[in-house]
Amino acid sequence: MPNAIINLTELLARVENDRELVRELLSIFKDEFPGHLQALREAVDSMDGDRVTAEAHTLKGMLSNLAATSAADAAARLEQLGRNREVSKFQEACSSFETVSKDLLQQLDVCMPEVRG
Amino acid sequence: MRILIADDESMSRKLLQKTLERAGYEVTAVENGRLAAEQLCLADGPRLALLDWVMPEMDGPGVCREVRKRNVQSYVYMVLLTSKESKEDVVAGLESGADDYLTKPFDPEELKARLRTGLRILSLEDRLIEAREEMRFQATHDGLTSLWNRGVMMDLLGRELARSRRENVSTAILMCDLDHFKSVNDTYGHATGDEVLKETAKRLLASVRSYDFVGRYGGEEFLVVLNNCKPPFALARAEEIRRAISQKPMPSSSGPVPVTMSLGLLLSHEWGFRPLEELLHEADVALYAAKAAGRNCVKLASPNTSLVAPEPQEQAHIRMRR
Check residue B206 and give its pLDDT. Answer: 97
> Is the pLDDT score of A34 beyond 60?
yes
Number of domains in chain A: 1
Count Cβ neighbours within 10 Å for each residue of A88-115 and write b for 16 or more, e otherwise: eebeebbeebeebbeebeebbeebeeeb
Q: How many CB atoms lie within 10 A of CB B18?
A: 19
Q: How many distinct structural domains can be found in chain B?
A: 2
Same domain assignment for residues B110 and B156: no
Instruction: Provide, rounded to the nearest whole percent, the portion of chain A with pLDDT above 70.
Output: 95
Domain that includes residue B229, residue range:
150-320
Closest CA to B221 of B147, B136, B277: B147
Same domain flag for B313 and B176: yes
B91 and B169 in a single domain? The answer is no
Which of B5, B15, B55 to probe by mutation at the A interface, max A CB count within 10 Å? B15
Concerning whether B220 is annotated as a catalytic residue, the answer is yes
Question: Which residue in the set A24, A54, A64 is minimally distant from B105, CB to CB?
Answer: A64
Instruction: Let me know if residue A15 belongs to a domain.
Output: yes
Mean pLDDT, rounded, for A49-66: 93
Question: How many beta-carbon contacts under 8 Å exist across A and B?
Answer: 53
| B221 plus B312 within the same structural domain | yes
Q: A62 touching B, CB under 8 A? A: yes
Among chain B residues, CA nearest to A69: B105
Between chains, do A28 and B14 touch, taking CB under 8 Å as contact?
yes
Domain co-membership, B158 together with B99: no
**Interface with chain B: mutation pick from A10, A14, A31, highest number of B CBs within 10 Å:** A14
What's the average model confidence in pLDDT over A41-69? 93
Flag whether residue B104 sits within 8 Å of chain A, measured between CB atoms: yes
Residues of A in contact with B6 (CB under 8 A): none
ipTM, interface predicted TM-score of the complex: 0.88
Chain B residue numbers with beta carbons less than 8 Å from the beta carbon of A58 are 8-9
Kindly state whether residue A98 falls inside one of the protein's structural domains.
Answer: yes
Give strand ranges (E) for B260-314.
261-267, 298-301
CATH code for the domain in which residue B34 is found: 3.40.50.2300
Side-chain-side CA neighbours of residue B91 (13 Å): 3
Same domain, B39 and B12: yes
B12 to A61: CB separation less than 8 angstroms, yes or no = yes
Residue B144 lies in a domain: no
Tell me the HSE value of A47 on the side-chain side, using a 13 A CA sphere: 5
Say whether both B112 and B133 belong to one domain: yes
- In this prediction, residue A2 carries a pLDDT of 37
Mean pLDDT of all residues in chain B?
92
Has residue A1 been placed in a domain?
Answer: no
Residue B83 has pLDDT above 80, yes or no: no
Q: Is residue A2 part of a domain?
A: no
Q: Which domain holds residue A15?
A: 8-112
Cα–Cα distance between B94 and B101 in angstroms, integer? 8
Among candidate residues B114, B137, B160, the one where a domain is terminated: B137
Mean pLDDT of B218-242: 95
Give me the catalytic one of B31, B160, B195, B220: B220
| pTM metric for this prediction | 0.72
Last residue of a domain, one of B99, B115, B137: B137
The residue ranking higher by pLDDT, B279 or B312, is B279
Task: Note the pLDDT tens digit of each residue in A3-28.
Answer: 458 888 899 999 999 999 999 999 99
Are B229 and B125 within one domain? no
CATH number at residue A108: 1.20.120.160
pLDDT at A3: 47
CB contact under 8 Å between A15 and B18, yes or no, is yes
Contact of A57 with chain B, judged by CB distance below 8 Å, is answered with: yes
User: For the ranges A37-41, B263-267, B302-306, which has the lowest average pLDDT?
Assistant: B302-306
At residue B246, the pLDDT reads 97
Classify residue A32: in a domain, yes or no. yes
Which CATH number characterizes residue B230's domain? 3.30.70.270
Among residues B190, B155, B157, B156, which one has the least CA distance to residue B173? B157
**B178/B67 same-domain check:** no
**Structure confidence at residue A107 as a pLDDT band (50, 70, 90):** confident
**Would you say residue B276 lies in a domain?**
yes
Nearest CA to B78 out of B38, B40, B107 is that of: B40
Give tens-digit pLDDT for B29-79: 999 999 999 999 998 999 999 999 988 899 999 999 999 998 777 899 999
Report how far residue B157's alpha carbon sits from residue B171's, in angstroms, rounded to the nearest whole number: 9
Residue B160 lies in a domain: yes
Looking at the fold, whether B198 and B119 belong to one and the same domain comes out as no
| Confidence band, pLDDT 50/70/90 cuts, at residue A113 | confident
State the pLDDT at residue B74. Answer: 86
Residue B40 sits in the same domain as residue B166:
no
Residue B62: partners with Cβ closer than 8 Å, 6 or more residues away? B33, B37, B96
Q: Check whether B312 has a pLDDT greater than 60.
A: no
Check residue B311 and give its pLDDT.
Answer: 52
Q: Are residues B119 and B230 in the same domain?
A: no
Alpha-carbon distance A8 to nearest alpha carbon in chain B (angstroms): 14
CB contact under 8 A, B19 and A64: no
Boundary (domain end) residue, out of B137, B166, B188: B137
What letter does residue A88 receive in the DSSP assignment? G
